[in-house]
Structure 1
């Protein structure tokens, strides 16, 4: 979405320029993409039932149900829902923390976790459709990359990868995409990856314990400010990097009871992602 589109939105709202995946107004699957508000939040349209109710219910459970407290540190802060009138349409939105707020050179990547991206209640047609999406990378790694954007510090360029390119990633090209996103040809990128691995380790530890829900077609949203990575070269302070990196779990339209079992689908994909980043960190 561009500036022209933002002019059609209510005062105080604009297109969220850091959206790298998901449906938007351009693909015809949603009347609007993700928006940003002047008070520093992102608004995600919730227009499909029963998936929207499932996602709202999950966020509300995190704030009110003791069994869901384990997720609280790993999802964006939830500020309820709001309705906006956009070109005559009343659209309901989730209001969530913007983890890129204040970033000067935001690098953002959506990684969908799990080789199975359909929930057990999916129809046969839905299951078949999901099996075809990102088939190669899901089979090889147990996750896929629907999109990312990165400020490439070695040459000053900006790259944005969408779902079309993401669907072509395989065992050779997917690691290269990760290296591009993490600016591995730039000094101190190893320390950047270490910080992300630290965060992913905490998320994995949570998943190895919680047996409340299984979550399908959910993503990990990676974000860091490449500007701070540049600054760390001159300041020699790792804290400048730590203060501008984050990984959050997002997208909870397919949450089902775990019946006291671990979510092996999610855990396997997350472990594979961690292993691949460890390999990249070690120079493989």
Structure 2
């Protein structure tokens, strides 16, 4: 199996001008997890929805089962060059000219959290509202 940068990515996780996300020739998409609590929460989210979380409750299973129908298949995680990646279905696989929208719900592009500095938040606000 060989990994290569996702050729159809136009934004998001980038590394030196190319996509930091990777794809293989089997239809899998490798997304690097951010360091710190955001990456840990994203990983736990996929594990919970997949049903691998240790904190299962019947109501959570019902909710996550419904959510799975709207998500690409989750295959787990791996470490590549020291960076943890989640592995999901590459929904662009097999298309010559895929057209896919990754829509975020909300209006802010910064994340106000205790681990983000005031300068970081201020910078995001200036970019969003010049």
Which range, TM-score by smaller chain?
A: 0.7 to 0.9
Which has the bigger relative contact order, CA under 8 A and spacing at least 6? 1
Quote the Cα distance in structure 2 between the aligned partners of 1:101 and 1:23. Answer: 19
CA contact (8 A) 2:109 2:124 kept: yes
Name the structure 1 match of 2:84: 92
CA contact (8 A) 2:78 2:84 kept: yes
Name the structure 2 match of 1:54: 41
Instruction: Provide structure 2 residue ranges, at least 5 long, that are not aligned to the other structure.
Output: 52-59
Query: TM-score scaled by structure 1?
Result: 0.37
Query: TM-score scaled by structure 2?
Result: 0.74
- Encode CA deviations 1:86-124: one digit per residue, 9 max, x unaligned: xxxx22211011111111222234443311334452543
Larger helix share, 1 or 2: 1
Larger radius of gyration: 1
Quote the Cα distance in structure 2 between the aligned partners of 1:118 and 1:106. Answer: 28
Q: Does 1:21 align with 2:8?
A: no
Structure 1 residues 121, 108: closer, same or farther in 2, change over 3 A?
Answer: same
CA contact (8 A) 1:78 1:96 kept: yes
Instruction: Provide structure 1 residue ranges, at least 5 long, that are not aligned to the other structure.
Output: 1-10, 137-284
RMSD of Structure 2 on Structure 1 (CA):
2.5
Quote the Cα distance in structure 2 between the aligned partners of 1:26 and 1:92. Answer: 18
Name the structure 2 match of 1:134: 128
Structure 1 residues 56, 111: closer, same or farther in 2, change over 3 A?
Answer: same
Q: 2:64 aligns with which of 64, 68, 73?
A: 68
Query: What displacement does 1:62 show?
Result: 0.9
Structure 1 residues 37, 108: closer, same or farther in 2, change over 3 A?
Answer: same
Q: 1:106 aligns with which of 98, 106, 114?
A: 98
